[in-house]
Structure 1
Amino acid sequence: MLADFTRYLEAERRYSPLTVRNYRHDVEQFLAWLGVGDADFDPCRVTTEDIREWMLFRTEEGHLSAASMNREISSLRALFRWLLRTGAVSRDVTQPVASLRTSRRLPAFVPESRMSGIVSECEQDSEDFIRERNSLIVLLFYACGLRLAELVGIDRGDFSADYTSLRVRGKGDKERIVPILEFVREKILHYIGLIERQNICISPEKALFLTHKGKRISRTAVYRTVQEELDKAGVQGKKSPHVLRHTFATHLLNGGADMREIQELLGHASLQATQVYTHNSIAKLREIYAKAHPREKGGE
């Protein structure tokens, strides 16, 4: 059963390898809690009460947060919807189960004043391949709002002929086109020139971001690079590729960009996912309002 479910997630849902692995792990944990294996699992015997007891067990005994528990419930929902679709069960026992309420955390982002200095530093050209690669990683995250997996998956052939746009493969293998700003375009051309001049990649590897040995860079290496670059720039709080993606969206919204345009650039399936950035925008607006309003400035 698990093998067929995994193939469904990969082939039909087109989930990423990491998501597939997480879903399978969650289902395996649930089966272990039921005391059955894959071969002797009878989904028709599972009840909604079993699902609720599982949630109670995981949150109390496993000390899972509401967000983590909701992710595990999503895995079981995907399983039972698939089982219903294949005719293995006659009803979806997860349907009556409500997700746990989670505290809404605002996305962390880098202030514009600090980000301006980081961009200026990254714009400086050098002949050091690693320096240029790391600078371009930061610039593409910030200027294009990419996810980590999207950036790592970029091939040099994904750019338009004049390097003014980039084809991005997002979640579910959905593609979108994002524009490349001129200062980023110049950095890309300089970086690709370095690859050619220094013979970094003499193999058929097509990846944009390479190790010094000419292999596609890993997600871990990119994550570490962003942490180091932001730490070096004095950024406080969380430092990650997703923080730069949040920074991209927040700065666009503060600059007057339309919400639906930001949704398209981020590759969000729904506008609801993008609307979280309005909270940051409102916080900025409140700050400006407090400084500008006559009453706040001591007027009548």
Structure 2
Amino acid sequence: MEILIDHFMHFLSVEKGLAANTLESYQRDLFAYTDFLKSEGVTDIAASNRSHIISYLVTLQKKGRATATLSRNLASIRAFYQFLVRDRHLEHDPSIHLETPKIEKRLPKVLSLEEVEKLLEGPDLGQPSGVRDKAMLELLYATGIRVSELVQLNMGDINLEMGFLKCMGKGSKERMIPLGKVAISVIRQYIETARPRLLKVGGESALFVNHLGKRMTRQGFWKIIKKYALQSGIMAEITPHTLRHSFATHLLENGADLRSVQEMLGHADISTTQIYTHVTRSRIKDVYAKTHPRA
């Protein structure tokens, strides 16, 4: 079964072009599933059936796993079986017609404009690291890119003269995103004054570097945004994704069309982007309730 999983991983990587984080997720889910099959005495994937899949999902549920986790595991298992049938390792797919657990859609947490301003004003521009932090935060809010995309940016991916950046998203899909005047100004300041002082040696292609002069990591940026949220007195729970959510919501609140926001966010399906329309409606209701004299 491990060999078949390796073949599947190769297929997802080479033919589908999935990102490393997505591949790790698939592999983790499938190893957990095949470990379960072995515990049930099944050592050949061809001997597995619909009941085994259901039993595994029930086991995860009893362990307190979230509905989203069950849904993701089933998606991984289903994709694996489809691959095995396609490559004729199996004749039948036991996952066919299994119903995906319904996930309750939670509205993403969004900062108000005032909270965004507080967060963006947090870094100390007298320090190279502060200029870098300011540039990273401004870039996230200006473009709505994912944190994984932010830390993967190279010097050649940004064009300040033309005012856009090139971003490689999920599934190795490239997209161009415009930059605002404020972001351009701060990023130029970072590149010209702060980045050279943070670099220890030459040859680093990363746009954003840490105190060691190496590429900034997702974990490193997580600590940065937590620091400025605490420093700014923002009570809302903030994650690196919060600025992405705020970017999309604020655009829609100010009249941007859904398709344009979808393209900038890099969503393959517009239904993913539509969650932000629910956020804007919810915020409108809150504003109405707080401001209308007869609300």
Aligned to 1:67: 68
Matched, 1:58 2:57: no
Q: Give, in whole Å, the separation in 1 of the partners of 2:266 and 2:139.
A: 15
Q: Give, in whole Å, the separation in 2 of the partners of 1:198 and 1:279.
A: 44
Aligned to 1:11: 14
Aligned to 1:285: 284
* Secondary structure, counterpart of 2:241 in structure 1: helix
* Secondary structure, counterpart of 2:237 in structure 1: coil
Change (3 A) 1:195 1:118: closer
Contact persistence 2:141–2:244 (CA under 8 A): yes
Contact persistence 1:195–1:201 (CA under 8 A): no
Q: Give, in whole Å, the separation in 2 of the partners of 1:199 and 1:43.
A: 52
Change (3 A) 1:110 1:201: same
Aligned to 2:113: 112
Aligned to 2:185: 186
Change (3 A) 1:189 1:270: same
Greater CA drift, 233-242 or 254-263 = 233-242
Aligned to 2:48: 46
Q: CA deviation at 1:133?
A: 1.0
Q: CA deviation at 1:73?
A: 1.1
Q: Give, in whole Å, the separation in 2 of the partners of 1:199 and 1:5.
A: 41
Matched, 1:206 2:205: yes
Letter in 2 for 1:55: L
Aligned to 1:135: 134
Gaps of 5+ in 1: none
Greater CA drift, 199-208 or 134-143 = 199-208
Q: CA deviation at 1:173?
A: 0.6
Q: Give, in whole Å, the separation in 1 of the partners of 2:117 and 2:156.
A: 29
Letter in 2 for 1:13: K
Give me the TM-score of the superposition, normalised by structure 1. Answer: 0.90
Letter in 2 for 1:117: K
Q: CA deviation at 1:288?
A: 3.8
* Secondary structure, counterpart of 1:35 in structure 2: helix
Contact persistence 2:71–2:100 (CA under 8 A): yes
Matched, 1:272 2:275: no
Q: Give, in whole Å, the separation in 2 of the partners of 1:292 and 1:107.
A: 23
Change (3 A) 1:249 1:14: same
* Secondary structure, counterpart of 2:159 in structure 1: coil
Letter in 1 for 2:85: L
Greater CA drift, 251-260 or 43-52 = 43-52
Contact persistence 1:145–1:244 (CA under 8 A): yes
Q: CA deviation at 1:54?
A: 1.0
Change (3 A) 1:167 1:186: same
* Secondary structure, counterpart of 1:176 in structure 2: strand
Aligned to 2:247: 248
Give me the TM-score of the superposition, normalised by structure 2. Answer: 0.92
Contact persistence 2:122–2:228 (CA under 8 A): no
Aligned length: 291
Q: Give, in whole Å, the separation in 1 of the partners of 2:220 and 2:6.
A: 31
Letter in 1 for 2:99: A
Letter in 2 for 1:200: L
Letter in 1 for 2:115: R
Matched, 1:90 2:91: yes
Gaps of 5+ in 2: none
Change (3 A) 1:203 1:285: same
Q: CA deviation at 1:147?
A: 0.6
